[in-house]
Structure 1
Amino acid sequence: MRRLILLTLPVLLAACTQGGDLQGVKTFQNEGGAHQPGRIAYEQTPPAGGAHNPSWQNCGVYDRPLYDEYAVHSLEHGAVWLTYKQGLPTSEVLQLKEVVAGRPYTLLSPHETQTAPLILTAWNAQLEVQDVNDARVKTFLQKYEQGGEAPEIGASCSGAYNGTV
């Protein structure tokens, strides 16, 4: 009897820790589908949805800032955008690159106006963290990459715009 309890306990604990609400996540009410060329003024920095360029940003790792308008279109497709403060130590940027390695619906880039060390953004959801090792980083990715409120989950995150600021 004791063996059964010990073997099932880790399964129960794992089930309880997945999918719970993430502390510190801010949510917004942006509508999808509004394509607009040119620069757009957003209410959030980095933006968590709203009007965006007709082309999406190819998901991947970038060493230079991205245009918000293209990245927002990727968010609409279910991507998560990890942005870091310019000047973040190289060792921490390398850690972030490891976190997104093999994840096809992520963007990683510095953000020009960001003051927090790291911000994770999905469509209508955003989490600011002070430490790249924060456990909420992976949990946010699990919850929002191809999930959450993204209006066009499953739409492509490649074959479009690949430029930087």
Structure 2
Amino acid sequence: MIRYARRLALGAACLLLVGCSSTTNGETVPGGTRAADPRASGSSEEPTTSGGKADPTARIKGVLSLKYKAGQHVKSPQRVAYDHTPPLGGPHDQLWAPCNGVVYKKAVRTENVVHSLEHGAVWLTYDPKKVKDADLATLVKKVDGQPYSVLSPYPGQPTAVSVQAWGRQVQVDGVDDPRIDQFITATRGNPDLAPEAGARCDEADPEAFSQDNPPPFDPTPPGPDAVPVGGGS
């Protein structure tokens, strides 16, 4: 009885002061309240970029965020074994694809466009079997004539529309998804995301990559000689 009374007294004292610790899912939380997740709705905190600034894509639902080493170049026709479809970073061709509001009607060589991402471009891709006519026109309006923007079909991608910037990607099922515009605004030319933001995005070598007749997309899986995402020179 005396021990029981002592436990009651200690419990009351604990409540009168700052609250006792409790355990939730194996974690001890002061006062019995779990700390709020900074990614939860309504929080003012966001993940930060390498420059210490808030990541503007953190509040866009479904954004994939990865880190890639910059400046890793390959030379055509060398392939890269990218880790995502479409890719959002990694080794790339030494020559970028023109990306100042360019709309490619046919799928183009992936390795060149990834270099454009390094320069700060946003790459909109679509599955040509799912996006046609009026839907395609909606995407064209988002890119045509806009700096650091490029649009091309990407056969076999997992969703109707995918949007890539260096180290960031969001994939959606329709052209009217508001996340497309949100993502473009957050990433296009952003120096906190793209390693070489502001670098050239015009046509540099028409003989190697002509905007009007670009090297074609290769739909076959990369062979054993493909450069891994962690490779390049």
Same fold at TM > 0.5: yes
Pairing partner for 1:55 from 92, 95, 103: 95
Q: What is the match of residue 40 of structure 2?
A: none
Pairing partner for 2:106 from 58, 64, 68: 64
Summarize deviations over 1:41-86 as a string: whole Å, max 9, x none.
1001111011000000001101100111000000000000000002
Q: What is the match of residue 27 of structure 1?
A: 65
Q: What is the match of residue 152 of structure 1?
A: 196
Using the aligned pairs only, state the percent identity.
37
Pairing partner for 1:89 from 113, 128, 132: 132
Q: What is the match of residue 16 of structure 1?
A: none
Q: Which amino acid aligns with 1:49?
A: G
Moved over 6 A (4+): none
Paired with 1:44 and 1:115, the residues of 2 have a C-alpha distance of 10
> Is 2:178 the partner of 1:141?
no
8 Å CA contact retained: 1:64, 1:164: no
Paired with 2:120 and 2:143, the residues of 1 have a C-alpha distance of 15
Q: What's the secondary structure of 1:149's corresponding residue?
A: coil
| Structure with the bigger percentage of helix | 1
Q: 1:164 to 1:64 in 2, by over 3 A?
A: farther
Please, what TM-score do these two structures have when normalized by structure 1? Answer: 0.85
| CA RMSD between the two structures | 1.3
Q: Which amino acid aligns with 1:81?
A: W
8 Å CA contact retained: 2:123, 2:149: yes
Farther-moved stretch of structure 1 (36-45 vs 75-84): 36-45
Q: What's the secondary structure of 1:154's corresponding residue?
A: coil
Q: Which ranges in structure 1 are unaligned for 5 or more consecutive residues? A: 1-18
Please, what TM-score do these two structures have when normalized by structure 2? Answer: 0.61
Q: What's the secondary structure of 2:81's corresponding residue?
A: coil
Pairing partner for 1:105 from 112, 133, 148: 148
Structure whose alpha-carbon radius of gyration is higher: 2
